[in-house]
């Protein structure tokens, strides 16, 4: 009985050499080769083999049609071959009419696929050769003969670049890659793809494999482009004014991340989000960015303004007064501080300290408390809600050396340690004009302390941009991210994208200046709380890119340009960072973050 071994033999078309070899693989009778051994079936003596059924009046397998399609080989069948054909017909007739017709249709479809593939193989081979080698324009062969220029433009649109032939995948099956081939090769190839699509399921893979066609799955031979080399650069992206404004995503940010993500939704280069916001948990900010940007942002990709406070381990066991809003206690414990007191808890313990709001003043004089433990430091994580209450109670703690229920004749100096984050004087939300930031609150506290004591308020640590410590912390996270992704090449160049010249540009340029000094041996490694850099830094530069979607606007006066009358321009930076016009000049100024990504990819030689 006829089985699929004959079809397996037909699938050997791809390995056949020459026209005769391919046809003999399809039809053993063409070259007078004996049929497979399993076709020698002894007839049943009880059956009348002389009766010819009406549905078998024509050759069962239609070899003559195959011969015509293949070019009319022109060899007549011998009498011996006809006898073998008749014996096959009689043998298969015993299977029953329905099963016989079903097998006949399946084999006919498979044979048509193989024949179409045979014809298209030559067309695709010619197409590949034309796309691999620029074809010169041939001279005209006579009237009405036209020549065709097969040179094409690449993805970048530049002349001379040639696009890769698409011989597989969805584009190949639709015939999209056949637009530039010659007419004969185009029609043959298109016919083969239609035939492959119509082939039975088990045979589609075998036919594609025999003809060298590719599947749709990357792991099964998808024709992809050249592998991208490991990145040697990374991004430090600001959030407010660069990616979002309030709760609204800037459209350019979505376009930028379409370039930064690969087909699996993973970042092509290491990216860290560096923001001076601090009134939110780190994993909460990561979830917020994931929802806004449309891809998974890990918590260790987000650097809040107070994140580097993890390095100040010498203060983690002290009793600290924490100021700000949001999840203050949770944030402080994540940073490592084990014993914290909020401003509201201090006000509840000493209600007479808060006297500004008439509605909150105590109606009676409470009994003074002597059992309240002394406070040993101040932690400023972000702008509070009631500035007057926070300013008053922080001053009480500093002037009383941590015992606000008592009074001292003279204020101690140096005062208790103060750790602060987020020095932004202004920040950009949905409003047309910038809003007050935590830097404004710090300015109020510094001014009040100097006015009352005649001395400057001192900080044990200032975190957030433009602090060098924040950029060193970001550099370490960039390196760890590259290691987790398996990128062996060291990250040498960092690109900081921001909207605030006083924090983003100033900080990136200050860190770049530090890197250049460290390269020449003139800078010392920052040591904080016993922390030291365990390996030498591979970073060589940090370029600043200023966007026009936030605080900075090209229509306003540049921070380094003199005002009218030759006066010195206002400096919006923190008191402890000196005014330096060179540090506030961005390496590049672009419209938005999408242009910034395109600029960096162009500088690094990466495809967009």
β-pair type (339-342, 302-303): unpaired
Q: Assess whether pLDDT exceeds 60 at residue 361.
A: yes
Q: Pick the residue with more confidence: 603 or 135?
A: 603
Q: Band the pLDDT of 105: cuts 50, 70, 90.
A: confident
- Model confidence at 153: pLDDT above 90: no
* Sheet strands (E) in 276-414: 302-303, 319-323, 339-342, 377-380
CATH of domain 307-363+371-462: 3.40.50.1000
- Rounded to whole angstroms, the Cα distance separating 185 from 126 reads 7
Helix, strand, or coil (residue 436): strand
Which pLDDT value is given to residue 183? 42
Q: What is the mean pLDDT of residues 506-530?
A: 78
In percent, how much of the chain has pLDDT > 90? Answer: 48
Q: How much is the pLDDT for 14?
A: 40
Q: How far is CA 323 from CA 314, 329, 421, 462, in A?
A: 19, 10, 11, 15
pLDDT score of 452 more than 60: yes
Alpha-carbon dihedral 155, 158, 161, 162, rounded to 10 degrees:
50
99's CB contacts (< 8 A; 6+ apart) are none
* The pLDDT of residue 601 is above 80: yes
Residue 505 has what DSSP assignment? Answer: I
Predicted pLDDT at 100:
59
Residues in the chain, total:
608
Contact assessment for residue 592 and residue 497, using Cβ atoms and an 8 Å cutoff: no
- pLDDT tens digits for range 410-433: 889 999 999 999 999 988 888 889
CATH class for domain 233-305+466-556+569-604? Answer: alpha beta
- For the segment 483-501, what is each residue's pLDDT rounded down to a tens digit? 999 999 999 999 999 999 9
Integer Cα distance of 223 and 98 in angstroms? 42
CA atoms within 13 A on the CB side of 273: 29
Considering only CA atoms, which of 122, 239, 238 is closest in space to residue 184? 122
Please report, rounded to a whole number, the percentage of residues in the chain having pLDDT higher than 70: 59
For residue 592, give every residue at least 6 positions away whose Cβ sits within 8 Å of its Cβ, in sequence order, or none. Answer: 250, 252, 253, 256, 547, 548, 549
Taking residues 529-537, report their average pLDDT.
Answer: 53
Give how far Cα 368 sits from Cα of 349, 394, 405, 408, 410, Å.
9, 19, 7, 16, 21
Question: Could you read off the pLDDT of 250-283 as tens digits, one per residue?
Answer: 999 999 999 999 999 999 999 999 999 999 999 9
Sorting pLDDT into bands at 50, 70 and 90, what band is 407?
confident
Average pLDDT over residues 503-509: 96
- pLDDT at position 599: 97
Q: What is the pLDDT of residue 557?
A: 57
The domain segmentation of the chain, as residue ranges, is 233-305+466-556+569-604, 307-363+371-462
What's the rounded mean pLDDT across residues 6-19?
A: 44
CA distances from 263 to 164, 267, 286 (A): 19, 10, 21
Q: Do domains 233-305+466-556+569-604 and 307-363+371-462 have the same CATH topology?
A: yes
Q: State both tokens at 580.
A: 């330096």
Eight-class DSSP state of 561: S
- Please tell me the distance from the alpha carbon of residue 533 to that of residue 537, in angstroms, as a whole number: 8
pLDDT digits (tens, 9 = 90+) for 225-254: 345 789 999 999 999 999 999 889 999 999
Read off the pLDDT band of 371 (50, 70, 90): confident
Assess whether pLDDT exceeds 70 at residue 209.
Answer: no
Mean pLDDT of all residues belonging to the chain: 75
């Amino acid at each position: 009985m006829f089985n699929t071994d004959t079809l397996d033999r037909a699938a050997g078309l791809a390995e056949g050499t020459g026209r005769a070899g391919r046809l003999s693989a399809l039809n053993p009778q063409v070259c007078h080769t004996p049929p497979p051994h399993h076709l020698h079936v002894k007839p049943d003596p009880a059956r009348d083999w002389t009766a010819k059924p009406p549905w078998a009046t024509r050759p069962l397998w239609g070899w003559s049609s195959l011969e015509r399609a293949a070019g009319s080989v022109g060899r007549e069948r011998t009498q011996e071959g006809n006898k073998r054909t008749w014996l096959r017909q009689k043998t298969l007739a015993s299977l029953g009419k329905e099963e016989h017709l079903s097998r006949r249709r399946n084999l006919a479809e498979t044979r048509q696929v193989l024949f179409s593939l045979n014809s298209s193989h030559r067309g695709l081979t010619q197409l590949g050769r034309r796309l691999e080698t620029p074809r010169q324009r041939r001279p005209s062969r006579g009237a009405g003969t036209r020549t065709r220029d097969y040179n094409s433009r690449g993805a970048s649109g530049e002349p001379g670049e040639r696009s890769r032939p698409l011989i597989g995948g969805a584009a190949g099956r639709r015939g999209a890659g056949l637009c530039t081939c010659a007419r004969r090769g185009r029609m043959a190839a298109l016919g083969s793809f239609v035939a492959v699509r119509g082939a039975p399921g088990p045979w589609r893979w075998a036919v594609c494999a025999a003809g060298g066609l590719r599947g749709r799955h990357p792991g099964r031979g998808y024709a992809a482009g050249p592998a991208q080399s490991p990145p040697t650069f990374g991004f430090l992206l600001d959030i407010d004014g660069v990616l979002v404004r309030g709760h609204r995503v800037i459209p350019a940010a979505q376009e930028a991340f379409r370039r930064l993500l690969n087909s699996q939704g993973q970042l092509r280069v290491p990216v860290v989000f560096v923001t001076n916001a601090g009134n939110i948990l780190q994993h909460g900010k990561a979830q917020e960015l994931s929802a806004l940007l449309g891809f998974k942002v890990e918590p260790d990709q987000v650097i809040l303004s107070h994140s580097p406070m993890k390095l100040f381990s010498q203060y983690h066991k002290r009793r600290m007064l924490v100021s700000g809003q949001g999840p203050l206690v949770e944030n402080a414990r994540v940073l490592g501080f084990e014993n914290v007191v909020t401003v509201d808890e201090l006000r509840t313990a000493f209600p007479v300290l808060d006297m500004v709001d008439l509605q909150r003043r105590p109606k009676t004089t409470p009994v003074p408390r002597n059992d309240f433990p002394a406070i040993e430091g101040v932690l400023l994580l972000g702008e509070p809600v009631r500035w007057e209450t926070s300013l008053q109670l922080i001053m009480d703690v500093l002037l009383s050396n941590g015992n606000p229920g008592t009074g001292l004749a003279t204020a101690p100096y140096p005062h208790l340690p103060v750790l602060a984050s987020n020095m932004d004087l202004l920040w950009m939300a949905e409003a047309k004009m910038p809003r007050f930031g935590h830097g404004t609150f710090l300015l109020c506290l510094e001014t009040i302390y100097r006015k009352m004591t005649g001395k400057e308020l001192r900080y044990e640590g200032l975190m957030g941009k433009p602090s060098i410590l924040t950029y060193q912390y970001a550099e370490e996270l960039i390196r760890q991210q590259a290691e987790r992704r398996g990128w062996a090449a060291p990250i040498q160049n960092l690109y900081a994208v921001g909207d605030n010249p006083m924090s983003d540009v100033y900080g990136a340029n200050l860190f770049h200046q530090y890197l250049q000094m460290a390269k020449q041996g003139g800078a010392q490694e920052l040591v904080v709380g016993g922390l030291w850099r365990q390996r030498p830094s591979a970073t060589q530069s940090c370029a600043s890119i200023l966007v026009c979607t936030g605080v900075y606007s090209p229509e306003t006066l540049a921070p380094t340009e003199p005002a009218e009358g030759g006066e010195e321009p206002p400096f919006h930076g923190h008191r402890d960072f000196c005014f330096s016009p060179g540090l506030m000049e961005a390496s590049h100024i672009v419209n938005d973050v999408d242009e910034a990504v395109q600029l960096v990819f162009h500088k690094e030689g990466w495809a967009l």
